[in-house]
């Protein structure tokens, strides 16, 4: 049996033995009743990290984003985001189904946009039109190849939104990666936004969970949205303990994932029929194009023990994480170019 090296996503990570031990040892309560001590500790810790007043733990990144949207919009409002944003592409139309919002889509390279794009999307104050209410920025940007938003651009687009009375949400599913790659603190990123979501189940290697941070009043509404969406859990401190462990032990190693991704990108550069720019690989996500059918190439590569995802007719995605180490990278960087060159 071929031993698989899994590069499909950073969500395939498994909790380490030390993380599982922390989960087993966690003191527990009932989070729905508000007295799970490990949940309370995690929420306090994250609020401090992001420089906000309060936080709410939820099961998933999608629920985090949608709870933040629900807490800050009313039916008939409009959300502004990039057309490659996770909230638009990968959350099953929840912005419409759950919050009754419409959406205005912006363009721009690598999932980013400029303040003039925001200004152009603002609806006129006219009863014929939806009310522009919320700007969403995703950092890092998944479909943008793990691109990190420059802080100045974040400052500019959120300032433009606020000029028109909008609130701002940061989809920070991989904000840990953005901070590790840029050196910008979590609080510095977060201060430009009313709400921030962050995932524990990607680069930090936890089995489940995301956090939403904001002011106390907004988090009160987020708690209501979480309950409405079925995300209020009981002895969920067992999951919060994994996140607390990860904050202490897995954040510093994210730079290893970035180095691994860059190494893979460099190994693919120059292969006939493969198109990739290694300089565009800023964090742990690699996108590359192939002349052949991407699904066929992914199947071929998997037969050699490496799992990736086709994300378009000719586009393949690979993601490094806690699930792979230096020895795995040796195998990938040696065998993957050979397989692709001979396809």
Mean pLDDT, range 186-201, rounded to an integer: 98
> Does the structure show a pLDDT above 80 at 3?
no
Record the tokens describing residue 188, joined without a space.
Answer: 């510095």
The answer on 267 and 157 residing in a single domain is: no
Boundary of a domain, candidates 249, 268, 301: 249
Q: Convert the pLDDT of each residue in 140-165 to its tens digit.
A: 999 999 999 999 999 999 999 999 99
Q: Is residue 313 part of a domain?
A: yes
Q: What is the pLDDT of residue 343?
A: 61
The answer on 135 and 228 residing in a single domain is: yes
Give the CATH number, domain containing residue 298: 3.90.1150.10
Record the tokens describing residue 210, joined without a space.
Answer: 């995301």
Residue with tokens 């969500």: 11
Boundary of a domain, candidates 217, 232, 249: 249
The answer on 334 and 186 residing in a single domain is: no
CA dihedral sign of residues 217, 149, 177, 98: positive
The answer on 106 and 244 residing in a single domain is: yes
Q: CB–CB of 337/20 below 8 Å?
A: no
Residue 340: pLDDT band with limits 50, 70, 90? confident
Q: What is the pLDDT of residue 295?
A: 95
- Bridge partners of 198, per DSSP, are 172, 211
Boundary of a domain, candidates 202, 229, 249: 249
Cα 282-43-58 angle, rounded to 5 deg: 75
Mean pLDDT, range 2-6, rounded to an integer: 84
Q: CB–CB of 281/265 below 8 Å?
A: yes
The answer on 282 and 143 residing in a single domain is: no
> Does the structure show a pLDDT above 60 at 17?
yes
> Does the structure show a pLDDT above 70 at 1?
no
Q: What is the pLDDT of residue 270?
A: 86
Mean pLDDT, range 181-210, rounded to an integer: 98
For residues 39 and 233, give the distance between their C-alpha atoms in angstroms, rounded to a whole number. Answer: 10
The answer on 317 and 268 residing in a single domain is: yes
The answer on 121 and 80 residing in a single domain is: yes
- Mean pLDDT, the chain, whole residue set: 96
Q: Is residue 126 part of a domain?
A: yes
Identify which has the larger pLDDT, 289 or 340: 289
Helix H, strand E, coil C: the string for the chain is: CCCCEECCCHHHCCCCHHHHHHHHHCCCCCHHHCCCHHHHHHHHHHHHHHCCCEEEEECCHHHHHHHHHHHHCCCCEEEEEECCCHHHHCCCCHHHHCCCCEEEEECCHHHCCCHHHHHHHCCCCCCCCCEEEEEEEECCECCCCCECCCHHHHHHHHHHHHHCCCEEEEEECCHHHHHHHHCCCHHHHHCCCCEEEEECCCCCCCCCCEEEEECHHHHHHHHHHHHHCCCCCCCCHHHHHHHHHHHHHCCCCHHHHHHHHHHHHHHHCCCCCEECCHHHCCCCEEEEEECCCHHHHHHHHHHCCEECEECCCCEEEEECCCCCCHHHHHHHHHHHHHHHHCC
Output the CA–CA distances (angstroms, integers) from residue 197 to 59, 61, 99, in the order listed. Answer: 12, 7, 17
Residue with tokens 């987020």: 222
For residues 333 and 263, give the distance between their C-alpha atoms in angstroms, rounded to a whole number. Answer: 7
Residue 2: pLDDT band with limits 50, 70, 90? low
The answer on 173 and 276 residing in a single domain is: no
Residue with tokens 């087993």: 24
The answer on 283 and 194 residing in a single domain is: no
> Does the structure show a pLDDT above 90 at 339?
no
The answer on 279 and 207 residing in a single domain is: no
Note down the domain range covering 118: 17-249
Q: Convert the pLDDT of each residue in 41-100 to its tens digit.
A: 999 999 999 999 999 999 999 999 999 999 999 999 999 999 999 999 999 999 999 999
> Does the structure show a pLDDT above 90 at 213?
yes
For residues 277 and 124, give the distance between their C-alpha atoms in angstroms, rounded to a whole number. Answer: 40
> Does the structure show a pLDDT above 80 at 263?
yes
Q: What is the pLDDT of residue 60?
A: 97
Residue with tokens 């192939």: 290
Q: Is residue 53 part of a domain?
A: yes
Q: What is the pLDDT of residue 341?
A: 82
> Does the structure show a pLDDT above 90 at 113?
yes
The answer on 141 and 228 residing in a single domain is: yes
The answer on 229 and 171 residing in a single domain is: yes
């Amino acid at each position: 049996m071929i031993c698989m090296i899994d590069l499909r996503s950073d969500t395939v990570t498994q909790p380490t033995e030390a993380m599982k031990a922390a989960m087993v040892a966690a003191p527990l309560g009932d989070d729905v009743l508000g007295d799970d001590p490990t949940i309370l500790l995690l929420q306090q810790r994250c609020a401090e990290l992001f420089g906000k007043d309060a936080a709410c733990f939820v099961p998933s990144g999608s629920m985090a984003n949608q709870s933040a949207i629900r807490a800050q919009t009313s039916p008939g409002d409009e959300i502004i985001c990039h057309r490659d944003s996770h909230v638009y592409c990968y959350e099953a139309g929840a912005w419409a189904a759950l919050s009754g919002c419409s959406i205005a889509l912006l363009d721009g390279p690598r999932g980013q946009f400029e303040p003039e794009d925001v200004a152009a999307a603002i609806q006129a104050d006219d009863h014929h039109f939806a009310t522009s209410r919320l700007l969403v920025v995703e950092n890092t940007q998944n479909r943008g190849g793990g691109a990190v938003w420059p802080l100045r651009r974040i400052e500019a687009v959120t300032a433009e939104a606020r000029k028109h009375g909008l609130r701002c949400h940061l989809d920070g599913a991989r904000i840990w990666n953005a901070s590790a790659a840029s050196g910008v603190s979590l609080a510095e990123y977060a201060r430009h936004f009313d709400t921030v979501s962050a995932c524990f189940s990607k680069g930090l290697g936890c089995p489940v969970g995301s956090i939403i941070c904001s002011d106390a009043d907004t988090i009160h509404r987020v708690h209501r949205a979480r309950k409405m969406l079925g995300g209020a859990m009981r002895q969920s401190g067992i999951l919060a303990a994994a996140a607390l462990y990860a904050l202490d032990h897995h954040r510093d190693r994210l730079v290893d994932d970035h180095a691994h991704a860059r190494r893979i990108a460099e190994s693919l550069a120059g292969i006939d029929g493969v198109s990739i720019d290694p300089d565009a690989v800023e964090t742990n996500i690699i996108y590359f194009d192939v002349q052949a059918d991407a699904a066929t190439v992914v199947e071929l590569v998997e037969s050699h023990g490496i799992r990736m995802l086709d994300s378009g007719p000719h586009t393949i995605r690979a993601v490094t994480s806690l699930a792979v180490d230096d020895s795995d990278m040796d195998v990938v960087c040696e065998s993957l170019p050979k397989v692709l060159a001979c396809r």
